Structure formats: C-alpha cells, structure tokens
Structure 1
Amino acid sequence: MSRRTIAGGLAIAAALTLTTLPATAEQQAVRFPTAKFPLGTRAAPAKTLTAVTQGIDLYDVKAGTSTDGYTVTVLLPNGKDAGSLTAAETAAAAVEAAGEAASVQEVVRPGVADAPSQTMYMVRVGLWSLKDKKKAEEKAKELKDADLKVKVDYLGDDGLDTTGPWNAKVVMIDAKTFRGSYAASVGASVAKRETVSSMAKARKAVVGLNGGFFNIHTAVELRGEPVGASVVGGKLLSEAVPGRSAVVLKGRSARITEIETIVVVTSQDGQQIAANGVNRAAATDELVLYTEEYGAKTPTGGTDAVLDANGKVVDLRASGATVPAGARVLHGNGLAADWINQHAWENWTVKVDTKVIDLRAKQPIALTPDVNVIAGSVGLVRNGKVKITAKRDGHDSMNMILRRHPRTLLGTTKNGSLILATIDGRKPGQTIGANFVEAAQFMRWLGAVNAINLDGGGSTAMVVSGKVVNKPSDGRERAIGDALLVLPQ
C-alpha cells in the first residue's frame, strides 16, 4: 500500500493490494492461528481464550496501535466525498478561494473478483492527531462559514494504510466435538426487528450472531424483512436475491453457497404463475406469498386468497388483513389480482411449490425441519482463496469495498468447523473495523476456506452465554432482521 497526493502536502494511502494467505496444516483444523496478525504491521496479536462449552471457544483478539488522525474532507459538487479529477479540482479551487490550502488526493478502490479497480479523487484540508479532533472540527466550521460543504474524517476509516487498532471477537466451533445444532431466527415475526440477544434468549442459544441485511427502505413497521433468502426450520420466509451468497445450516453442519429461490403457484384449473416475493411489500402487478410468520397485515388495494394447510382456498377477501394461524395468503394487485380472481376461487385447491436452489451444487435443497438459510451480503473467500464478489452481491461501491466499517463474518474450515467473527469499528483510537479485502484476509488467517460477510455497521453484534461480547458502534445493540443461533442441542 502506498500514499500519494496530487496536490498539497497531505499524504494519504492511495492503493490497496489483494493478497491470498497460504493455507497451513494448522489452519485446516479449527484452532487459533499461530501466524502473525494479517493486517497492519502484522505483529502477533493479543488474545484471550474463553471455553464456552463443549466444542465452542471464544477468543478476544486485539492487534495494532493507533497512529491515525483527522482531516477535513470537502464534499464535491455531486455532494459525495469522492469523484472525478475535474470535480475534485473544482472543489479545491473553491477552498483556495476561501483562503485555505487544499490537497487533491487520488484514491484507488481495489479490484475485486467481479469488479475492476476504480480511481477517484478527494479533497482534503489539514491533518490533526487523534487528540486534536476539536481543531479539525474548528477548521470544518470555518469552511462551512465560507459556504463550503465539508465533514471531519478519521483517517482510519479510509480503508487505506493504517496500523489499526483492531478489536475482534472470534467464536470457533469444532465440528468433531460440538454436539449442538445451528438455527436461524427472525424473532417473533418477519416484519418486526429484534435484537440478537432477544432471539438468542428465546431459543436458549449459546451463541447468537446478527444475520444478513434487512430492508430499511420499506415501511417502518415492516423493516425486519430480510434482504435475501431466509429459511427457518425448513420454511421459506423471504425470497433470495438471485445468486447472492448465503449460509445453509443443517443440524450441526454449515456450508456457504449461492442461493436462488423459485415459488410457483398452480391453480386447480392447471394455470400457473410465479410468485414475485415472500413476506414483503408488494409492487404493482406483483403476486406475493405471505406466511403466518409475517406478523403484519397484507398490503391494501388488492386481493387475498387465504389457503389452509392443504392449499384449499378458504377465503377470497379484500387485502389488508393479517395471515390466519396455520394458513398462507396469496396477495395480488393489478394483473396479479386478476389472476387470483380468475384462478383461485373459493374452495378450489391451489398448490404452492417452493424451491431453494443451491447454485454451487446445482440442485434443490430439501427443506426439512432442520434446514435454515441466512443470506450474506458479500462473498469473501472461496475454496481457500480470497474471492470478493461485491458487484454480484450489490456492494461494489467505494464505501462498501474500501472504507472500513464494523464487520460480521462467517467462515467454514476444511473439516467442516464454523468460524464466527465480529470486528468492531467506528471507534477512533480503539478499533477501526475492516474493509472487504481486510475482512477476507482476516478470515483466511483464521483458517476459513469459505467465508462471507454478513450485515455490519451498527448491526454487528455477537452474543455469547446471554451477553453481548462485542461493542456495537451505535453504543447499544441494534434491532435487526434475522440472526444465526448456536443451540446446545
């Protein structure tokens, strides 16, 4: 990694190199690595081991030291902190017109498996130590008074050269000695958000970890809905984002793959239609399947066909009501409502065929009661090599790939053991989090041959024996959409 500026005296890192760490015999089993920490100066980390229960160990891992400080970032004409060279030079000229010196900084977002590298430019003013944040804030105020849009930036968040520090929690679950099982939970309902602690307590879980992303762009009362595949106890509760990474849990086994879901509805008269979604708000002309786990009313302005356990249409109603216990509801509006009114008459039988496809194995997953699926956000490691699939998984921005955030990570080892990890961040001087490249390197270092990134940021939370063991960046545990649970049996 190097540091380079185009103009001015501020030196910031401008490139990041992808590396693949070699596997060792020790990394092929579930044991804490003896190799030096893979990030920063690569010194030996400090670690504390807590034996949780048979086959489960918790490690508190600390590495690196704080040397980063603060700068003031000038927002470009597009309102973002990075853009084209022309936009950066325009913003720098505005700073200089206000009587301040500005540096134009080239920043290279590294290429990943499915997206090439990207060069962008930022404008920075000044450089202050960690203890002098107040001075950076004072400079930012002066620039704002000159009608410039700016923000105070901690350089450790940039995702470029750093010495840390990092504070991580790692749970290693040994496939040979663990006698419990894995499960997923959406809490009391799909629609409602809950904390990991709440979901873990309800199932008496030994370990709980926040799961995938949830939909923050829908109505407030529906924001617990997972973005991506969710299977709980063999029941599909949320459709997949096609091809997105996920972890499939069955009993005490876990495997990482990519998932596709297909829901086909067949009327008694032989007519078929594909359902567009499961347990989420419906768009125009969409057919959405709702299960009793949804925990909210179906959308208004359409038609509902209420199905009993055998697929019999027991009620054809105006939409906007709850899902009866033991039933499912097919909701449609527009063209989908027309299909229901034509092919889902009361007392007719309507078959709902649900398939969850493992795209690596190229075959359906049998949805038995011991099967659970949690969607990841980005693939990090595949078959022992760093392979970051940010674009395929919808996260190929500068902010997501390069900048550091708190991370929740999941990996599997060669012998089938499970590694769960959190890296806290957004705490200058204490812990800086990780970008995707660093997260992948960290999981390889721990011994994962396959690994994915789950939801992170303020959602990152690990619960062990009823206690939140990491330090969520919001200052408290956030309510989320779903969680992975490690059960004692």
Structure 2
Amino acid sequence: MSRRTLAGGLAIAAALTLTALPATAEQQSVRFPSAKFPLGARSVPAKTMTAVAQGIDLYDVKAGTSTDGYTVSILMPNGRDAGSLSTAEAVAAEVEAAGETPSVQEVVRPAVADAPSQTVYMVRVGLWSLKDKKKADAMAKKLKEAGLKVKVDYLGDDGAKTTGPWNVKVALIDVRTFRGTYAASLGASVAKRETVSSMVKARKALLGINGGFFNIHTSPALRGEPLGASVVGGKLLSEAVPGRSAVVLKGRTAKITELKSTVTAISQDGERVEVNGINRATTTDELVLYTEEYGAKTPTGGVDAVIDATNKVVGLRASGGAVTAGMRVLHGNGVAADWLNEHAWQDWKVQIDTKLVDLRTKRALQLTPELNVVAGGVGLVRNGKVKITAKLDGHDSINMILRRHPRTLLGTTRNGSLILATIDGRQPGVTVGANFVEAAQFMRWLGATQAINLDGGGSTAMVVGNKVVNRPSDGAERAVGDALLVLPQ
C-alpha cells in the first residue's frame, strides 16, 4: 500500500509534554504576566487592558500567526475519526481503490493524571493551504461519490504543534481591591437554557462567563440542567457528580474543589430513603426532588408528594404537574412511588436532609444564602502543577483532551484572586482554541495555582457591561445552563 505523509502530521507525543511551568513571584500575583505567551512559538502577545471596575481588569490578548491548512479525513466504519491500525489500513485501501493516495497517521492522545496515553490511527488525503479550502471540499466531494464517509479538517484543530493564532479574553479580579461578590445563576429556571448576557442583565452583574456542562441528552425542554453540583443562594438545585470539579463561591472568595452531595427524605415515622437526584429527569425506581426553580412539570407515570416550607405533605397527586412557589415536590416511580405512598401521607412531615461535602477538606459546606456553586468540567491545575483529571470528570476522549476547541477557564491564585479566561476557537486563520494540556499551561502562565475547564465550544462566552466581548464559535451567543457572575458591591 502506498502512503503519503502529510506535512504538519500529528507529532503529538512530543508537542504536548506535560511540563509544569516554573512558578515566579509575578505568576503568584494577579498582574498580567510579562513572560512570553506559553503556546506556539512563545512570542510576545499583543494586549490591551480595560479597567472594568475597582479590582477588575480585562485584557484582550492576541498571539501567534496562521500557518495551518486543510486536509480530508476519512471516517472509520463506526463513523469515528480514528481507529485501530488494522481498521485504518482497511479504510486506506478503500481510498486507493477510489484512485487517491491516502496517509495513515498515528495519533497519540497524551496521558493525563487519571488516564494513560492512547494511540489510534487516522486516514487522510491531501494538504491544502488556508486559502485553498475549496480544493479540500472538492476532494471530499469526490471521495463521497466513491462511497466513502469523509470530512474536511482544519489542521489547527488537531492538537498537534501549531503556530496559532489565539484570541483570548482574560479578566483578572484582585482579591485585595475588588469589593463586589461572586454568584451563580441558572437564569429564570433550571430546566431552560439562557444566554450569559440575559443572566448578567437580570442580576446587573459587572461581568459573567458561561458555567459548566449541561445535559444535551435529555428532553429538549429540560436541557438547562447542569451536569454536576449547582447551588444558587444556598439552595442545592442540582446534585453533585461525586468527585467532579466545581467552583465554590462565597462572598468574594472562590475555591476550586471536588464535591459530593447526599439528599435524604425522612418520614415522620422514622423511615429514611435516598433521594437520587434534584431537578432532572428520572429513571426507573428513582426518587427525585423538584424545587420551585425547576421551571417545568414533574415527570408523568409516578407519584408526587407536594411538600411545603414546614416539611408538611400538603397532598399526594398523580405526577406531571408544576411545582408552585414555596413548595417542593418529591416524585417517585416504581419502588420510589411505593415509598411515597407508604411514608408520605397527607399532613405528615417529610424532612429533606441535604448535605454537600468538600472532598478535599472532608467538611460539609454550610448552605447559607451567600453560598453558590458552579460545576466545572475538568480539573486542569492543582497546587500549582498541571493535573488534568479528564477521566474522573467524564471527558477523557481524544476529542476532549487532544483536539482544540474554544475554552472557558477559571483559576485562582495563591493569594485568592480570581482569573477568568475565554480562548476562542474553531475559526480557521483567526483563532485555534486550545486542548486540555494547552489550557492548563495557559492558566499556569496567568498565575493560577488551581484551575478548571468549564463548558466550552459554542458555549464559551464572556460578557462585560452587557456586551459579549469574545467571539462565540457559533457566530452568536448560545443559550447555556448556568453562569458565573461578578456582582458589584
């Protein structure tokens, strides 16, 4: 089989070495670093600074140049970009049968803190410059007509060595001079998605960024549901995924940690049962708590116990109704419905015991009105060192770890200052985004001793003064599940 290696192939293992950058006194402060940009050729970035409010500086940062072009990737039989060597060679033979010269390329997804490296293989045809995308499109069309499944790929998105460019927004919030507070927002309801702009406007925030991942695999009407812990004003509105990274906000302090939540229903007859979830769709035999913030009807096909603020059951009903103001609803189906019928009689008391534990300190968080929590996506930096917990956080795929995407990043410095950043991507020739390793290195460069990745891709948004200051990859701001807001004093 003939093979032609593309220029700019995936020399990933060497390009993405997990090297901890040396910590300096300047990095530990909240000042913008004077060192060269940490990605690509490590050039001096162009930057402009705008003072947003006392203690908040916004930087518009640009670095790198565009040298990447396009190729055509042939998909594996399962529809994925890459597969085993034998599968890739079989696909390459199909390309040769179609009269074109394929390249079988080894792709190494780097090891992270909780997952080993992974090697797979891609099949590609051709290499064209940025201005010649139409030629790549023409080749893709030809291969499709030959019965192959293909797509046009911009090489800057691969995760291999690149020169950029990068368009970044960085908000540095100095704990010594900032006098406002931090908060989480789910918008008008948990179930529905909303733009960061809308949430910023509603709370009259100085600044806002999109929060964590939300559930795109549930009913369209419920896709605002956060995938992980969410606390707004001291109320737990979404249960934690045990061990997943999160940002705990209290007043003007922010802490990155991992959380575990437990919710227990306790009937006045002493019977206790685990509540499986909060404000989300149910599965078989589950007991789920719905609060007035849910913004949707409870699921059908079960039993609802409506509970008032004094923990009294005001009534049992067939499920599928709204949660009225001042009420909570315990919904159960299957064996969970049986528990409600036996232990949540009308006028009985059913206490809802809620605990949220910081897994680093092993201490319970007090669910007071000033407590807010935003679930993260992936841990990036811990105690000043790169530590990517992609598997623990449910994002250990090649697409998430290796490929470049728009990123929303959050970090804290040694003195407790807050760093918020968006790296735009998916805009060939304009900005390439970052992979997890690059995102971690970037946050270390900014001075973060703790850092996490929030939701990204088309969700990445930073809003300052009611204006979206970055360039969302969808072309317009996307509605998201939640947001982190910076409020005035």
User: Is TM > 0.5 for Structure 1 vs Structure 2?
Assistant: yes
Q: For residues 113 and 14 of structure 1, what CA distance do their matches in structure 2 show? A: 21
Match of 1:399, SS state, is helix
CA distance in 2: counterparts of 1:76 and 1:189, whole angstroms: 41
Partner of 1:14: 11
Structure 2 Cα separation of the partners of residues 86 and 158 of structure 1: 22
- Residue matched to 2:288: 288
Shift of 1:7: 3.6
Cα deviation, residue 79, structure 1:
1.4
Asked if 2 retains the 8 angstrom alpha-carbon contact of 1:7 and 1:105, the reply is no
Q: Which amino acid aligns with 1:14?
A: A
CA contact (8 A) 1:250 1:372 kept: yes
Is residue 314 from structure 1 mapped to residue 314 from structure 2 by the alignment?
A: yes
1:89 corresponds in structure 2 to 89
Question: Which runs of no fewer than 5 residues in structure 1 stay unpaired?
Answer: 1-5
Distance 1:325 1:79 in 2: 47
1:63 aligns with 2:59: no
Deviations 1:434-484 (A, max 9, x none): 000000000000000000000000000000011000000000000000000
Q: Which amino acid aligns with 1:304?
A: D
Q: Does 1:416 align with 2:416?
A: yes
| 1:3 matched residue in structure 2 | none
User: 2:232: which partner in 1?
Assistant: 232
What is the identity, as a one-letter code, of the residue corresponding to 1:85?
Answer: L
Q: What 5-or-longer segments of structure 2 have no aligned partner?
A: none
Amino acid paired to 1:336: A
Q: Work out whether residues 112 and 390 of structure 1, in 8 Å CA contact, stay in contact via their aligned partners in 2.
A: yes
Partner of 1:407: 407
Distance in 2 separating the partners of 1:7 and 1:185: 53
Report the Cα distance in structure 2 between the residues aligned to 1:234 and 1:22, rounded to whole angstroms: 38
Alignment-mate amino acid for residue 46 of structure 2: A
The residue aligned with 2:151 is: 151
One-letter code aligned to 2:338: D
Deviations 1:213-258 (A, max 9, x none): 1111111111111110000000000001111000000000000000
Cα deviations by residue, 1:400-459 (Å, 9 ceiling, x for unpaired): 000000000000000000000000000000000000000000000000000000000000
Percent of matched pairs sharing the same residue: 77
Residue 357 (structure 2) pairs with residue 357 (structure 1): yes
Contact 1:185 1:484 in 2 (8 A): yes
Structure 1 residue ranges (4+ consecutive) displaced by more than 4 angstroms after TM superposition: none
Is this contact kept in 1: 2:212–2:376, CA < 8 A? yes
Give the conservation status (yes or no) of the 8 Å contact 2:3–2:101. no
Q: Any conservation in 1 of the 2:5–2:105 contact (CA below 8 Å)?
A: no
2:427 counterpart residue number: 427
SS in 2 for 1:61: strand
**Structure 1 SS opposite 2:293:** helix
SS of the residue aligned with 1:336? helix
Aligned partners of 1:149 and 1:13: how far apart in 2?
21
CA contact (8 A) 1:410 1:454 kept: yes
Counterpart AA for 2:107: V
SS in 2 for 1:263: strand
Secondary structure at the aligned position of 1:433 is classed as coil
Q: Distance in 1 between matches of 2:319 and 2:240?
A: 24
SS of 1:242's partner is coil
The AA in structure 2 aligned to 1:10 is L
Map of 1:42 onto structure 2: 42
For 1:27 and 1:9, the matched residues in 2 are separated by 41
One-letter code aligned to 1:273:
V
Asked whether the 8 Å contact 2:56–2:178 carries over to 1, the reply is yes
- CA offsets per residue over residues 337-369 of structure 1, 9 Å max, x none? 000000000000001000111000111000110
Is this contact kept in 1: 2:289–2:328, CA < 8 A?
yes
Q: Is the 8 A contact 1:165 1:431 kept in 2?
A: yes
The TM-score, its normalising length taken from structure 2, stands at 0.98
Contact kept in structure 1, 2:409 and 2:453, CA below 8 Å: yes
Matches of 1:42 and 1:14, distance apart in 2: 18
Deviation at 1:279, TM superposition (A): 0.3
Q: What amino acid sits opposite 1:9 in the alignment?
A: T
Q: CA deviation at 1:124?
A: 0.7
Counterpart of 1:167 in structure 2 is: 167
- Given that 1:73 and 1:124 are in contact with CA atoms closer than 8 Å, whether structure 2 keeps it comes out as yes
Structure 1 residue 9: Cα displacement: 2.8
The answer (yes or no) to whether the contact 1:381–1:444 under 8 Å persists in 2 is yes
Aligned twin of 1:75: 75
Q: What is the aligned-residue RMSD (CA, Å)?
A: 0.7
